[in-house]
Chain A
């Protein structure tokens, strides 16, 4: 089935550093969502984007809906140890059903 290209696959950073990850699609999306998943837990919604060009923040997190509607990025500023986890992008394609397509995830490790 359709998949999103999410990169990087993993990141190892020092506490206090900024982080950036992105997702791209071959088709146009009308919704981009970013989730964080801790081990053994379900994903938690971080940010939802619904308009091309939209830039939305949630605390230290900022995400943008790309102008081309085929990409989105998530930035985390001043990372802290509790940012550790797997971040997934998800999107809904234009004209598609209400199903979400998920990226493969970015595993973030923060060294204190």
Chain B
């Protein structure tokens, strides 16, 4: 149980275009999902907390107009990188928290974004 998927697993896009990444909880409903960014050889950096049916909460320094998050259902959250630039190239990982009242988060397999 507690399986989280991401799509796509990798994407290459041109500078100035937008890219959408999907995060799905496959066998549980998640009222809360999280989006992280990870640079090579570094730890995970939380970008935002996605709450079903309400606006996402962004971490300090993360541009909400650039990284659009939509948590439209209890099993799906999307991250859209708008007007992508090469510095947005990174590994984006989502996680979901089961509604068990506990804290553990289950992570998706990640999406490698390369902006050319």
Contact = CB atoms under 8 A, between A and B. Distances in A.
Given A40-B110, A99-B49, A33 B44 contact: no
A92 B109 CA distance: 22
A100 B43 contact: no
B89 interface: no
Contact of B102 (A48, A88, A97, A104): A48
Contact of A103 (B43, B97, B107): B43
Contact of A40 (B60, B103, B112): B112
A interface SS class: loop
Interface string A21-39: 0000000000101010000
B105 interface: yes
Contacts, number: 57
Contacts of A33: 103-105
A45 interface: yes
B78 interface: no
Interface of A: 1, 31, 33, 35, 40-45, 48, 50, 88, 92, 97-100, 102-105
Pairs A-B, 9 closest by C-beta atoms: A42-B107, A31-B103, A48-B104, A42-B110, A102-B43, A42-B109, A43-B107, A104-B43, A92-B103
Interface of B: 2, 4, 6, 32, 34, 42-44, 46, 49, 59-60, 91, 93, 95, 97, 102-110, 112
16 contacts: A1-B60, A31-B104, A33-B103, A33-B105, A40-B91, A42-B95, A45-B104, A45-B106, A45-B107, A48-B102, A98-B103, A99-B46, A100-B34, A100-B103, A100-B105, A104-B43
